[in-house]
């Protein structure tokens, strides 16, 4: 009994002591894999410089703008910084999106476009998400001009309740400087990349085998998701269930014994055939019944004539 208690307490202590280290180890491994795949994809992309410039200018904008969210709708400077925060998030997202699409070899829409020039030019001209981003970029230019005018006129620190922070003007100045830098540097870097990709002959499209493998993996994943969906199962399962139900309904009812045990149809059929054959064998046809003679009486009951008695007596004497 004491050994069982000691082993249980020791196991609990070991679990409590090693659990944080296991969690930390799994978290570090997952982060390392994610960072490794992200870095490999970023370094192999022709838009890597554009992504770096975008993150270097827009990530500080997002951080500084988020610091003034407490005074939103009560301070004009905070309201303007809220718009810059949203636009900065869009800038970073679009930069990573373009970089991923260019290096994604199994992209069906870019299957026939092999070089980086063909892929980037197609995304800039025909991608619907980038078309929406162009409208957001026009809003970014207009919002940047509005912020510059308000900053020159000292309207960033004006509010009806005097709730603007003490650092609102300095934060607005930092954001304005970074956004104007991105306004000039971002398109310039993208233009230089397009010029350089004209001379690049690297093939970013995957082979037919890789496309087939990606399609098979997507189909398998879709089938697994549909199989696990209880509320809306796939049509194939519904049709198979309905077919099985109709087959069961079309079958004749089974025969059960007195104890409730089902009797096989073949055995039951053989049993019925044997019973019917035995009944047929035991039955006497009417024609044969008419030809049977009447029963013979025993000798003791047979009648005797006088002539026979006299003959018997004569024989004895």
Q: pLDDT tens-digit profile of 197-215?
A: 888 888 888 777 877 887 8
pLDDT of residue 251: 58
The predicted-structure confidence for 149-197, as pLDDT tens digits, reads as follows 999 998 887 765 567 777 888 999 999 999 999 999 999 999 999 999 8
Mean pLDDT over all residues of the chain? 76
pLDDT beneath 70: ranges in the chain: 1-8, 10, 12-42, 159-162, 225-317
Burial label, 140 (beta-carbon count in 10 A; 0-12, 13-18, 19+): buried
Residue 230: both structure tokens together: 């209880």
| Widest CA span in the chain | 178
């Amino acid at each position: 009994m004491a050994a069982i208690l000691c082993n249980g307490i020791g196991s609990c202590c070991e679990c409590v002591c090693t659990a944080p280290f296991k969690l930390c180890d799994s978290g570090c491994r997952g982060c390392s894999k994610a960072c490794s795949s992200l870095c490999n994809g970023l370094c192999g992309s022709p838009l890597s410089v554009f992504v770096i410039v975008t993150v270097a200018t827009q990530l500080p904008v997002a951080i500084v703008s988020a610091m003034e969210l407490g005074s939103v709708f009560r301070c004009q400077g905070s309201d303007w910084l809220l718009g810059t925060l949203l636009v900065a998030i869009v800038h970073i997202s679009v930069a990573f999106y373009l970089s991923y699409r260019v290096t994604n070899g199994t992209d069906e829409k870019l299957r026939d476009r092999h070089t980086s020039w063909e892929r980037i030019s197609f995304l800039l001209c025909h991608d619907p998400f980038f078309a929406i981003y162009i409208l957001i970029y026009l809003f970014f230019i207009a919002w940047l001009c509005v912020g510059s005018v308000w900053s020159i006129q000292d309207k960033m620190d004006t509010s009806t309740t005097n709730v603007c922070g003490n650092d609102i003007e300095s934060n607005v100045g930092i954001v304005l400087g970074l956004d104007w830098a991105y306004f000039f540097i971002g398109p310039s870097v993208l233009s230089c990349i397009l010029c350089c990709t004209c001379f690049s002959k690297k093939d970013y499209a995957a082979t037919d085998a890789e496309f087939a493998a990606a399609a098979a993996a997507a189909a398998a994943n879709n089938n697994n998701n549909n199989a696990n969906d209880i509320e809306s199962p796939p049509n194939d399962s519904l049709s198979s269930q309905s077919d099985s139900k109709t087959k069961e309904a079309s079958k004749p009812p089974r025969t059960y014994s007195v104890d409730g045990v089902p009797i096989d149809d073949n055995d039951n059929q053989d049993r019925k055939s044997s019973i019917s054959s035995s009944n047929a064998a035991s039955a006497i046809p009417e024609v044969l019944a008419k030809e049977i003679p009447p029963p013979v009486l025993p000798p003791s009951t047979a009648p005797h004539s006088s002539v026979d008695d006299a003959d018997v007596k004569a024989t004895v004497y």
